[in-house]
Structure 1
Amino acid sequence: MIIPLKGNVKFPITLDPTVWIFDDRRIKFAEAFSGEHHAREEQEHPFSSEERFNREVVQATNDNKPISRKDADEILKSTYVIPFKPFYQNAEVNDGATDATIVQADGNEVSLGLEELANSYLLFSFEGKPLKDDGPVHIYFNDGTNKDDPIKGVNEIIIN
């Protein structure tokens, strides 16, 4: 259930969708493509690596609060995506990179532009359950153009 992000990057990373259900960056699938979510996203300003690290450390030390029973029930029944951009930024794509190859479980490969990939969402939970049959994740473009036909069975992301 892990997905390597590798290739023309400074820091190859491994994505583990099984832990994202408790990640505060998760977004309900129904809200991901709404105008309200995009407006909130645009208000946030990009951080430098140092600012992002400091912010993550502070959040990590402040976020050790228990989840209420009501919230836990909601989490375990909802369908969620997570923005890909933080992972893309952490891998630090090299200047010479041109595009990305998505390797699917069935061996097919899909090419995407770097901006399209960076701004995409990863579906990792359907009705509170991990995507076992056609997962571990699906890729949805942030404009919702492939909402009815996402890239499924993503096993590897290679930056070219």
Structure 2
Amino acid sequence: MESIVLIKGKVKYQITLDPGVWIFDDRKVEIEAYFHAEKVEVDELEEYTIAASKHWEKEIREGSTMPPTLKTEKRFEKQRLLEGTFVIPFEPFLDNSVPDDNASIIIVETADHEHTFTLEEARSFAIGFSIDGKPIKENGPCYLYFGDGSNINNPIKDIRSFTLI
């Protein structure tokens, strides 16, 4: 079993995905939260601007304070990472590969089969990389979930590459 997955084909940049390091990625989401939470479109720049403004306003009014150390919060986060089942959205990786303008199909190659989807369908994919806090070894290195969660109990497994045509 390979531990990396490629995005290749009609792309400007071939991307090598290593699901083993996604546990450190801030974009990871617990699988239940990803498929059962309300999807809200977030403008990251606007959120950052609002948060920074609130922070500066607080410092102007109250002065600078050092944040407290919360050992229990750190312990809870560690416990969540050791026991959680996580997915990561596929769209940022697809965007970073810069698909050609005429690419419209993506082929998901597994160990023994090829699955064909439109590029728009692929934008909603979620990639599972951790089950019960452990990297996916059996039928891994990652699983593919459809954006609507319709295959949450039967994901596409043994993924080897994503090829744009």
The percent identity for this pair of structures is 39
Q: What is the Cα deviation at residue 34 of structure 1?
A: 1.8
**Any stretches of 5+ residues in structure 1 without a counterpart?**
47-66
- List 4+ stretches of structure 1 deviating above 3 A: none
Q: TM-score, normalised by structure 1?
A: 0.80
Q: Which amino acid aligns with 2:22?
A: W
Match of 2:129 among 124, 130, 139: 124
> 1:43 and 2:48 equivalent?
no
SS of 1:76 mapped into structure 2: helix
> 1:80 and 2:80 equivalent?
no
Match of 2:15 among 9, 13, 16: 13
Q: What is the Cα deviation at residue 151 of structure 1?
A: 1.0
Question: Partners in 1 of 2:133 and 2:42 — Cα distance?
Answer: 29
Q: What is the Cα deviation at residue 45 of structure 1?
A: 6.5
Count of aligned pairs between the two proteins: 136
Deviations 1:112-160 (A, max 9, x none): 1111112110000000111111111111111112222211111111111
* Range that drifts further, 145-154 or 10-19: 145-154
Q: TM-score, normalised by structure 2?
A: 0.77
SS of 1:102 mapped into structure 2: strand
Structure showing greater radius of gyration is 2
Q: CA RMSD in A?
A: 1.6
**Any stretches of 5+ residues in structure 2 without a counterpart?**
46-72
SS of 1:88 mapped into structure 2: helix
